[in-house]
A and B are shown apart, each in its own frame.
Chain A
Amino acid sequence: MPNSKLLEIIQAGPLVTVQDLDRHGSRHQGVSRAGALDDLSLRIANRLVGNADDAAGLEMFFGNTRIRFLKEIWFALAGCECFATLNGKPVYLGWTKRARAGDELFINMPRNGLCAYLALDGGIDVAALMGSRSTDVQGGFGGWQGRKLQTGDLLPVGKKNRKQLKTRGVLLPILNQEVRVLAGPEAEQFAPSVQDAFFSHGWKITADSNRMGFRLEGDTLIRRESGDLLSHGVFPGTIQVPPNGQPIILAAEAQATGGYPRIASVIQPDLWKLGQLRPGAFVHFRKVDRAEAAIAKQQQQRYLERIALALSIEN
């Protein structure tokens, strides 16, 4: 591979995976969407280094990851504040940085948030499966050998973008613990007081959360109807309430179909926040209608357009 630059994983954190934006069009075969949980941060990091939005980067849960660059390369970090260093010197989130051959990047344990994203000029160069380079950890395919990264892995990087990069930064989105949702199809199967409870207090994100879903702990949400639902399509952001009354927010690697009642659904422009739901922290839900969701989507698009514009003007 003449153009491939290499990254060496010197120390892999608990869950480091190759991810792009998503894998779609295969859900009828039971295939998960996969892709970056915090897709907004991956997009921003990709834009900084001149990549297409859907180039593959690294998603790192809880930092604790050390990477050696074997050739000179530009990179950018986004996502949670992870106090990264390059050869011991601070690296700022949302800025491009040039690494030289042999340089070591350390992603530290974040104090807030969950996932950090590393984008590289040229993207991680793994084969696309079903239209995506994302790792499906549960399915054991895609990304790098169908698994999370381990110490000693050597990753190829694609051909660098032609543009000469320089040091530049963008304003990152502000993270709060509020996630906006639409009422779910089965919301009315919960009494008004139970629906109020869902919105009135923060939900603790439990330790058994992962890329499939975030399990929450709080008031027990009792459904007023009984009886099973027929299996139906579910998506990342769908909030299910299993019989134990403790909701689950389905995430990137959620199964394609499910049968639990859906009390709410995270609006698309807030899905990225799932990537920053840190176990032990609390998340609040705020109900919006479809019109508000559409405005939120437009606002996010404008933010991304401003970034694109800023990055194009400066060259």
Chain B
Amino acid sequence: MKQETVQIYCVNEQAITIQATAPVSLEQQQRMWALGASFQARDGITEIVPGMNNLTLAFDESLVDGDALMHELQQGWNNITVCAQSGRLVEIPVRYGGEWGPDLADIAAHTGLNVDEIIRIHSEAEYTVFFIGFQPGFAYLGGMPAELTTPRRSSPRQTVPAGSVAIGGAQTGVYPKTSPGGWQILGHTDVVLFDPSREDPSLWMPGDRVKFVVAEVAHAE
């Protein structure tokens, strides 16, 4: 068995993080999810929060001993087996280009790809929800093809509409809520990513696979 090194540290009296020290990879991320899942039913664990190649557990210190938990995380990391779990497949219909994707031309200019190629590459790839943060329901997706990498806009927009599908550096994502933002917008989805009245408010969960499906393409003249 591989014994990659990890760092385990306290965030505060009620939270411990385990961080893989090797470069970010899907395999390590899968181990973090599996490790988190193994604490799901445990009394006194109040939050299980995956990050980027790390996992944070929050706990009630009257029920859980922090030092024992650190030890358990190390043991768990050494012994966890990742089943070939692949998460659910979440399909996100996207209207690309035109008023839905005002930055598509900029992405084309930067990547040297034409608009059709960008849409094809973006919608053919399969992504994985690495973790959720920044905003309720905002997924950090792994798996964007490197040729789509486009730097953030030099000046962020005051208002990016909810449902905007965008590229920021080497990542792609969807804005769950209208907010300021600097990512390059290539399309829009009507899917509601976060609805607090749903039993699981977030549409997707860490480990889910994601496909962007072309619903419509608006071509510039």
Chain A residues close to B by CB (< 8 Å): 24-32, 129-130, 136, 138-142, 146, 182, 184-185, 230-235, 237-238, 255-258, 262, 265-268, 290, 293-294, 297
What distance in Å separates the Cβ of B88 from its nearest Cβ neighbour in chain A?
15
- Stretch from B4-12, B92-100, B120-128 contacting the other chain: B4-12
Instruction: Check A232/B56 contact, CB under 8 A, given A29-B194, A265-B12, A297-B13.
Output: yes
B131 part of interface (Cβ distance < 8 Å): yes
A294 to B10, CA, bound (A): 14
A185 touches which of B17, B46, B50, B202 (Cβ 8 Å): B17
How far, in whole Å, are A25 and B194 apart by their CA atoms in the complex? 16
- State whether A29 touches B47 (Cβ < 8 A): no
Do the beta carbons of A139 and B136 come within 8 Å of each other? Answer: yes
Known A28-B48, A256-B49: A185·B11 in contact at CB below 8 Å: yes
Chain B proximity of A234: nearest CB distance (Å): 7
Distance to closest chain B CB from A170 (angstroms): 23
**Bound Cα distance from A29 to B138, whole angstroms:** 8
A233 CB contact (under 8 Å) in B17, B134, B136, B196? B17
The answer for the CA separation of A26 and B51 in the assembled complex, in Å, is 14
Minimal beta-carbon separation of A230 from chain B (angstroms): 4
B54 close to A (CB within 8 Å): yes
Name B residues whose Cβ lies closer than 8 Å to a Cβ of A.
Answer: 9-15, 17, 19, 24, 36, 46-54, 56, 58, 61, 66, 131-138, 140, 176-177, 194, 196-197, 200-202, 205-206
Distance, CA A268 to CA B13, complexed state (A): 7
Please indicate the chain A residues that have their CB under 8 angstroms from the CB of B194 in the complex: 29-30, 139
* B138 / chain A contacts, CB cutoff of 8 Å: 30
User: Which of B36, B134, B197 has the most CB atoms of chain A within a 10 A radius of its CB?
Assistant: B134
Q: What is the CB-to-nearest-CB distance from B8 to chain A, in angstroms, rounded to a whole number?
A: 10
Give Cα A98 to B54, complex, Å.
Answer: 52
Q: How far is the CA of A256 from the CA of B62 in the complex (A)?
A: 23
Q: Is the CB of B47 within 8 A of A230?
A: no
